[in-house]
Chains A and B, each alone.
Chain A
């Protein structure tokens, strides 16, 4: 199991929201997670087993739908395509591959005892 995690979040201030058991996730699909503090993350289990989380709100469509997008890759970069107008966002750093002016916040993901948790604060804010 790989977790796309970022070394910058080893500080003690990081707090986590438990999302669900890993085996609930469907490879290749996302779910929305309501974070403590009211933010929303879109959490994905990629088909290669990698976990990734980005902001759930589509900055173009301004609706909380990113978790319902189709995931895949563009030139090898794992991406999620917005279900509204199909712009692709990198699951590594959140940037939009179709329009550099927009990007999604990226959240850290951790796996503990078969349970997936997402950081309450983004590790990378656009």
Chain B
């Protein structure tokens, strides 16, 4: 939610804020959201499908992401690899990303080429070929991607395994890229079934930002996307993670020099923008602890006590599934992960006991205000913000209201949220135990204090 734009805080943009973005819904259920920004003659198109790894089942983990790769393999009218060629020829660039909650595709092009890429996206929304030969090559690429991003990346491996322990029933326990054995057994038919089930206009929305006129974009959308047929979607069963009843711990051994610690607390995410307050309080707490160089963690744990080489917080206040508030860091020379954990716990206890100061809140608000202006510098960022908010089931129209609520968080709310959610029964701790590349002895990550 730190990515949201408070137009209310930028009065010089007020006129634009009321009319912009613009939205329409086609008869087939596809929504089109247009954010006009006339600063430079370029445009961004993003097509978001409401389907991600959260919708996968055991034995087929990673299929959402594999299908994302297959989306570049052609349709009856656009041959394999041709999509990329046409975007490149238009002077554009394109790519895609898959997350737990969504799969999204984007192109950035000179504005006069927007119609071309809209046509291309519309074509593959319903007409993809999932060819077995193409699949056989591409699944190898995905396995290389997994080796690169996870298997050979100690921190990513720790994060993957820690999540698999923190969530036992909920699909968030599975990695987005999929377990290797699932990838090894995946077939073109799995990918095709995924496409046929989820890739329909009524399960998607299109976000377009840039130097465009919304009326023209709506007309183009009608022309290209309007002819596609919608179809009923399978019912999505809600999957509730059973209550955690005690602290969980996991250790991962991997070749590395430095140990890593991740502490994840189960935390709420925003479902009702108006009624809830805790996700806003946690968001502001993240800023107070880790939002800038002067924030508590960097000041105290890195600079003053020198117990951490680096340290950070991850908290997403919006998501389709359950939330986590992560603390992660690397202990400095002479310190262990146990020392770092103790230091983080002490900082948490301080918030729980003493709360935070008005000055700290004020600083967090100042950061928020400035970041809203800076965010306008990127057309891509503006489209991302709309798309991500929508992916969690929250309307982009509520972004302004969320920022308003964020500004109004009180110190008491922050303290109450910290007390309620940072308890051992909600905690999973993951530690990376670094292994030597050769037989040379090294310092242990787990030795007791020196």
A is bound by B: no
